[in-house]
Amino acid sequence: MEENTNVQEPGSNICSHCSIRSINPAHLTALCDECREAFIKFPIPLWIKLFGAGVGVVLLFALFNLPSQLSTAIHLERGKNAAKSHKFLTAQKELRQALKTVPNSTEGQAYMMISSYYNLDLEEFNTMATSIGSKSIDDHELYSWLEDVAGSATAFFPSDSFLVVMRAHGDAVDSIPDSVYEKFLAQFPEDIFPLIQYASRIMDRDSIEKLRADSLLRHVLSVDKNQFVAMQLLSGLRREEGDLPGSLKYCEQLIESNQESSYGLSSKARTLLKMKKDKEALALAKNTYDMDNSSGYAQATLCLAYHFNGKLKERDELMKEALKDTVKAGYMDYALDIINNKKTFR
Q: What would the pLDDT profile of 160-193 be if each residue is shown by its tens digit? A: 999 999 999 998 899 999 999 999 999 999 999 9
pLDDT for 220 equals 97
Over the stretch 72-106, which tens digit does the pLDDT of each residue have? 788 899 999 999 999 999 999 999 999 998 898 99
Beta carbons of 88 and 82 less than 8 angstroms apart = yes
Over residues 266-278, mean pLDDT: 98
What is the DSSP secondary-structure string of 122-191? HHHHHHHHHHHTT-----HHHHHHHHHHHHHHGGGS--HHHHHHHHTTTT-GGGS-HHHHHHHHHH-TT-
What does the alpha-carbon distance between residue 158 and residue 40 come to, in Å, rounded to a whole number? 83
Distance CA 16, CA 21 (A): 9
The letter for the amino acid at 298 is A
**Number of Cα atoms under 13 Å in the Cβ half of residue 259:** 8
Looking at residue 168, what is its pLDDT? 94
pLDDT higher for 253 or 21?
253
Neighbouring CB atoms inside 10 A of 201's CB total: 16
Domains of the chain in sequence order: 13-42 (no CATH), 46-155 (1.25.40), 156-339 (1.25.40.10)
Going by the DSSP 8-state scheme, the letter that residue 346 receives in this structure is -
Burial class (CB in 10 A: 0-12, 13-18, 19+), 126: middle
- Would you place residue 337 in the very low, low, confident or very high pLDDT band (cuts 50, 70, 90)? very high
Cβ within 8 Å of residue 127, ≥6 positions away: none
**pTM over 0.75, yes/no:** yes
> To the nearest whole percent, how much of the chain has pLDDT over 90?
69
Dihedral in degrees, nearest 10, Cα atoms 204, 206, 209, 213: 30
Q: What is the structure's pLDDT at 325?
A: 86
Which of 127, 102, 101 minimizes the C-alpha distance to 112? 127
Q: Which residues contact 148 (CB under 8 A, 6 or more apart)?
A: 226
Give residue 3's pLDDT. 42
Helix (H, G, I), strand (E, B) or coil at 244: helix
The residue among 255, 254, 301 whose CA lies nearest residue 282 is 301
Answer whether residue 19 shows pLDDT above 90. no
Please tell me the least confidently modeled range out of 1-5, 56-60, 271-275. 1-5
261 CB contacts (<8 Å, ≥6 apart)?
Answer: 88, 118, 119, 228, 254, 255
Instruction: Identify the three-state secondary structure at position 30.
Output: coil
| 214 Cβ neighbours under 8 A, 6+ residues apart | 203, 234, 237, 238, 241
Cα dist. 219→5, 215, 232, 244, 255 in Å? Answer: 106, 6, 14, 20, 20
Looking at residues 137-150, what average pLDDT do you find? Answer: 92
Residue of 79 and 71 predicted with greater confidence: 79
- Longest CA pairwise span in the chain (Å): 125
Contact 304, 322 (CB under 8 A): no
Average pLDDT for residues 214-231, to the nearest whole number? 95
For residue range 237-248, what is the model confidence (pLDDT) as tens digits? 999 999 999 999
At residue 112, the pLDDT reads 97
- At 22, is the secondary structure helix, strand, or coil? strand
Q: How far apart are the first and last CA of the chain?
A: 119
For every residue of 43-87, DSSP letters joined together read: PPPHHHHHHHHHHHHHHHHHHHHHHHHHHHHHHHHHHHHHHHTT-
What mean pLDDT value characterizes the chain? Answer: 87
The residue among 58 and 187 whose pLDDT is bigger is 187
State the angle between helix axes of 192-202 and 160-167 in degrees (0 to 180), rounded to the nearest 10: 50
pLDDT in tens, 31-53: 677 777 766 655 556 655 555 55
**pLDDT-based confidence at residue 55 (cuts at 50, 70, 90):** low
